[in-house]
Structure 1
Amino acid sequence: MQCDYFDAGVCRSCTQIRVPYATQLESKDADAKALLHEHAQLRWLSPVASKESAFRNKAKIVVSGTHQNPVLGILNREGNGVDLSECPLYTFDILALMPVLRELIQRASLTPYSVPARKGELKNILVTASPSGELMLRFVLRSKKLLVPIRREISWLQQRNPAISVVSINLLREHKAVVEGGEEIILTEQQTLPMQVNGMDLHLRPQSFFQTNTAIAEALYAQGAQWVADAAPHTLWDLYCGVGGFALHSAQALPDASITGIEISEEAIASAQRTVDEKGLDNLTFIAQDATTFAVDAQELPECVVVNPPRRGIGEQLAQWLEHSGIQTVVYSSCNARSLVKDLEKMPSLKPVEGRVFDMFPHTNHYEVAVLLQRA
C-alpha cells in the first residue's frame, strides 16, 4: 500500500507497509503456527485477510498547533504535531470528516492542548465509524471550558456532516500519556452508535470497546459461532464479552441454549443488553462483573466457555479454574498469541484442535488468533 506519510518518514506505525500484503499474511500465519508448534493435533484453517486500506473504523486524533491552524494527527518525540489527516488506513467516512473537524476548531476557537507547554484545552478527537456511515465524535478536553462552545456547534456539525450521530465530551484533566479520561458527557440525544455486524446492530457507547477492523471482527465472530454451534452446548459463558459480539452470535447459532455474557464495563453491558432487546433474544443474559471473579464464584458450570481477553491474556487464576473445571469446550480469541501460549501452558487438559489467524491489523506485526480447545 502506498502511504506518503511513511515515505516522508513522518509516521512509522505501519512497520510492514513495504512488505507485499500476501507476504505479511503468510508471515503472521507462520508466526502463530510456530508459537503453537507443540500442539501437534492443532489443525489450522486458512488465515482471514483484510482490506489493505480504508479498513480502520476508529481514528485517535491528537490535536495540536493553534485554533487558527490546527494539526490533526500524532505528536513526534518532541511533542510537536504531525498531520495525518489523510491516513489511508481510515475509512472514507472518517477521511471526509477531517476538513469539517478542522473548520470546527477554527470556527469555535477550540484551543489545542500543547504537551510541551502543558497549556490549552482540546487534547484529542476520537472518531468511530459504522459500516452504515454513521459517526461517533468524542472531544477529549482538559476541562469543561470548551463544553459550551462545542455544544453550541452541534447543529452546525450535523448540517456539515449529517452522518454525525453521537457527540460527547471526555474529560482528561491530568497531564498523562493516555488517550482519554474516565468522565464522559454525551451532548446529543442519540447516545449509542449502531455498529452493523453480520446483520445485527452492536450498540457502542462512547467508552465501549470494539475492534478497529469491522470486516475482520465479522469473520471472527462468525468463526466463533460456528465452533460453538458444532459443539452444541446447552449452556455457554462469554467471558470478557465487551458489547456482546461472541455471545450475541452464539445466541443466534444456539437458540435453545442458555448463554451468559460477562464484562466488567457497565457501559458495554448496557450496550449489549440493548441489542438483546432489539433482537428479542430470550436465551441471553448479560452481567457487569469481573470475568475471573464470576467464574471462580459460580455455583453451576457451563458446558462451553468463550474467552476474549485483553493482550495480557486470561491470567493464571482463570486458566487454573478452566483447567480443573471439567468444561469440555473453550473458544479462545486472542490479540496476543504469546499470552495465549502462556495461558495454554496452564491448561494442559484443554487441547487446541483448530485455529485461525485473523488479520485485524494489516501492515503491522499484530494479528488476532482464535483457537478451539477441547478437553482431552
Structure 2
Amino acid sequence: MKAKGSWMLIALVTIISLMFGQAITPVTASAAGPEDADVLVRLLDPKALPEGWTVPKTVGHVVNYLMHEWYQNETKGEMARAADFGIEFSLNDANLDLQKSLAGVDDYLAKGVDAIVFTPVNEEASAPTIKKATEAGMPVVCEGSPTEGCLTLVSIDDYQAGYNVGVWAGEYAKANFGGKALVLDIGLPALSTTVARSNGFADGLKSVLPDAQIVQSVDGKGLKDEAVKVAADALTANPDVNIIFGINDDSALGGLQAFQAAGLDTANLLVVGFGCEGKACKSALMEGGPYKVSAGMFPEYQGRLLINAAVAAFNGFPMPPHIVAPTTPITKDNLGTFYTQEGDEWVPNFEATAAIQ
C-alpha cells in the first residue's frame, strides 16, 4: 500500500475510535492488509472520507432479478446509502436474462458511470464481460455471487450461514421430533452460492444428528411457484419428510404451501428458510407455525455495504476479495432485535446488524 493509502486508513481508524469511544490501534503501511480494507469499507463515513478521496457521481447496479423481494429491499438500501453520499444511483434489471445482464454492463460502460455493482445471472458466462469492464478501468463490485473480474464480492458466507441454521434445525429436531430428520432440500444448483447454502445446511444438521437424511434435493429455481411444483412431486414420493429447507424464503414458503396442499400434518414439520428479506418470512415467523427459522441476510444493510464498496473501489483502494456481510439465524424470539415493526413495514436496525459476529 502506498504511504498515502496508509495514512488515509489511519485517519479512518481514528474517526472510528471517536465514534465508538474506544481506542483502536492505528494501521501502518506495513500492517495494512485485507482485514484493514474490510474495516474501512464497513465503517466508511460519507461525512468524513479519507483525505484525497472523491465521491463517484454515478453508480449503476445490474441486477439479476428485481422482481424478487430480496433485491427490492437491497436496492432500497443502496438508494438510501447513495443519497447519503450524494451519488446518482441507477438500476438495470436483467430479469434473469443473461444477455440482458451483459448488455446492461455494456450500457453502463457506454454511459460512463463511475462504478458498477453487478449481480450475475450466470457466474461463469458473465466473467468475460466483467473482465473486459475492469480491464478498461471500470470499478466493478460483485453482489451475491462471485464472478471473475470483479474487484470484490459483497455477500454473506453462504456455507456458514447454511451451517448455522442446520445446527439450529438439528437441535430443534432433537428436542421436538425425537431426533428424526428427513429433509426435502429445495435448492438452486445453477449458482455456487446457493449450492453452498444447501451443503452448509446438511453439514450443520448432521453435526447434531449424524443420521439425518436429505431424502431428496430439487431445483426450485429460487421461485415460489416453481418450488411449489417440484416440492409437490417430491412430497408425493416422500410423505414422511419432516424438515423442509429452502435456499431462499420463496423456496421455503413454496415448500410449505405444497406440504399443506398435500394434506400432511404441519405439527410434525419444521421449515427452514434463507434470507428473511421481506414481509412474508417475518409474518411466517411471528405466526408461530412450522416456519421457525431463517438465515437472516439483512438486504438493506448489505445495500449499504455495496455502495461503500463502490466508493472505495472508485478511489482505487485495495479491496479484499470478499467483504462478508453479516448473517444469523432469525427466529420469532430475536426478530425484534434486528427489525422494528411500524404498521405493515419492518424497519431495519443497522446498529444491531453491524454488531453480529
TM-score bin, normalised by smaller chain: 0.3 to 0.5
TM-score (norm 1): 0.38
User: Which is helix-richer, 1 or 2?
Assistant: 2
User: Which is strand-richer, 1 or 2?
Assistant: 1
